[in-house]
Amino acid sequence: MASYQIIDEPRAGRLSNYTVNPMWPLLSAMLGGPVFSWLWYLFNSFALNGPNRLKEILTIFVAFAAFIGVYQFGASFWNSGYFVDANVRYFYLFGITVQFVFSYILLVLQSDSFELYEHFNGHVASPVIGFVLAFVIGKPLQLFLVNLVWGG
């Protein structure tokens, strides 16, 4: 006999034991930058295996495109001489805002599925390894991507 499953309920998979609360990848964005955080959200999306997984993956791709677009736009303005020191700070603030908007969107997309997963006694992993990785490789990964975009 087939078991009953709610439509919004995440399906168990091989990676289910590595599911973390979506709040932790958001906090890792504050600790190690958004690039690592979005990669963690991507992994958590496959681990959670919720009904919004396709939306989450598309949001992550759009976030990476926006991240690269913002820095490419900044690089073109910098190379053409339109930026002065004060403008660079505002542009940097704009870039951070874009990064956190996408991180919060991903938090909202994964929260409902995670709450159902947790309610039905799904195993929730500790975020410690993710935080250590965010602290150690988060910023270097982001700087690598920015340097790739800026051609440095």
> What confidence score (pLDDT) does residue 152 get?
57
> What confidence score (pLDDT) does residue 4 get?
60
What is the C-alpha separation between 22 and 144, in angstroms, rounded?
25
pLDDT bucket at 8, cuts 50 / 70 / 90: low
Exposed, middle or buried by CB within 10 Å (0-12, 13-18, 19+), for 124? Answer: middle
116-130 pLDDT, tens digit each: 888 888 888 888 998
84-122 pLDDT, tens digit each: 776 778 888 898 999 999 999 999 999 988 998 888 888
Q: Where do the domains of the chain lie?
A: 18-150
> What confidence score (pLDDT) does residue 46 get?
93
10-63 pLDDT, tens digit each: 667 788 788 899 999 999 999 999 999 999 999 999 999 888 899 999 999 999
Q: Cα 96 vs. chain centroid, distance in angstroms?
A: 13
Structure tokens, 104: 């919060």
* pLDDT over 50 at 1, yes or no: no
DSSP string, 84-121: -HHHHHHHHHHHHHHHHHHHHHHHHHHHHHHHHHHHTT
* pLDDT over 50 at 77, yes or no: yes
* Rounded CA Rg of the chain: 18
